[in-house]
């Protein structure tokens, strides 16, 4: 009750708007290769990628529904659906790992001396999957603290955006371009954090250290991804 009274006007609309915006970015990014692939006559996808796409779609739909339920004060139903969310989050992490390995293997084989595979795999496994797992786990831990829970869930959703952002039909976006994914992901993170701060007249700790974790992990992984140790490990793993 006390937490509900501290929510400022516009906060629910902001989080609902964020959930819709994230879903639209994903749809735009994967429209040509997944959602509208029949219109673009793109190559057929393996069954694993269809499953991965379906799970990710359900995850974004569930996020929108959950945000809407909280705004409508349907907290009991929100918590019940949260159990399904735990299962989906686990599938997101597992399938994300498997798909990342497949993408990296394709990159390391063409051409064989390319440095793209180690860098791509490092960011996919540690910058996306691992950060996502950490943020969702913290959101679950603080599920009784709505102010922390919702912000950590937004950060977890933002951590998954990279693959969609690098597929947006924009002239400056190249598919699987790690630099583009990093720049656009940081922009989305800062946009959400600054808007939330303006609405609530302070930087919430969850956005402060959660956002710092996401940005710091990018630079730490960037250095690690180019190390001889990681490069050798990836080539041994994939070849």
Q: Which of 193, 181, 172, 174 is nearest to 221 (CA)?
A: 181
Asked if residue 237 has pLDDT above 50, the reply is yes
Asked if residue 98 has pLDDT above 90, the reply is yes
pLDDT for residue 180: 81
Give me the residue label for tokens 């569930």: 62
pLDDT for residue 5: 43
Residue-wise burial string across 198-208, b where 16 or more C-beta atoms lie within 10 A, e elsewhere? ebbeeebebbe
Question: CB count, 10 Å around CB of 229?
Answer: 8
For residue 46, the 8-state DSSP code is: P
Q: How do the domains of the chain map onto residue ranges? A: 7-238
Q: pLDDT over 90 for what percent of the chain?
A: 57
For residues 208-217, give the mean pLDDT: 94
pLDDT band at 2 (very low <50, low <70, confident <90, very high): very low
Asked if residue 128 has pLDDT above 80, the reply is yes
Question: CB count, 10 Å around CB of 176?
Answer: 17
Asked if residue 222 has pLDDT above 70, the reply is yes
Asked if residue 171 has pLDDT above 50, the reply is yes
| Contact (CB, 8 A) for 32 and 169 | yes
pLDDT band at 110 (very low <50, low <70, confident <90, very high): low
For residues 189-200, give the mean pLDDT: 93
Please give the residue that has the higher pLDDT: either 98 or 106.
98
pLDDT for residue 4: 40
| Contact (CB, 8 A) for 26 and 42 | no
Q: What residue spans of 111-177 are helical by DSSP H? A: 116-122, 131-141, 146-159, 162-165
How far is residue 51's CA from residue 211's CA, in Å, rounded to a whole number? Answer: 30
Please give the residue that has the higher pLDDT: either 30 or 106.
30
Asked if residue 107 has pLDDT above 70, the reply is no
| Contact (CB, 8 A) for 184 and 165 | yes
Asked if residue 111 has pLDDT above 70, the reply is no
pLDDT for residue 238: 76
> DSSP letters of 81-104?
HHHHHHHHHHHHHHHHHHHHHHHH
């Amino acid at each position: 009750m006390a937490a509900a009274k501290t929510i400022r006007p516009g906060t629910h609309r902001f989080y609902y708007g964020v959930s819709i915006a994230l879903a639209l970015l994903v749809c735009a990014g994967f429209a040509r290769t997944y959602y509208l692939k029949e219109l673009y006559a793109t190559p057929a996808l393996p069954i694993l990628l269809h499953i991965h796409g379906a799970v990710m779609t359900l995850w974004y739909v569930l996020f929108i529904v959950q945000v809407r339920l909280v705004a409508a004060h349907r907290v009991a139903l929100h918590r019940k659906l949260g159990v399904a969310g735990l299962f989906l989050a686990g599938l997101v992490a597992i399938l994300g790992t498997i798909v990342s390995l497949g993408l990296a293997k394709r990159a390391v084989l063409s051409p064989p001396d390319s440095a793209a595979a180690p860098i791509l795999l490092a960011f996919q496994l540690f910058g996306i999957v691992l950060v996502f797992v950490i943020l969702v786990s913290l959101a679950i831990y603080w599920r009784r603290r709505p102010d922390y829970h919702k912000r950590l869930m937004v950060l977890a959703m933002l951590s998954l955006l990279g693959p969609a952002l690098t597929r947006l039909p924009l002239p400056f976006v190249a598919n699987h371009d790690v630099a583009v994914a990093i720049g656009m992901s940081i922009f989305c993170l800062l946009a959400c954090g600054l808007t939330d701060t303006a609405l609530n007249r302070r930087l919430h700790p969850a956005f402060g250290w959660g956002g710092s974790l996401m940005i710091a992990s990018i630079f730490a992984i960037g250095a690690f991804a180019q190390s001889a140790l990681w490069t050798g490990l990836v080539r041994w793993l994939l070849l």
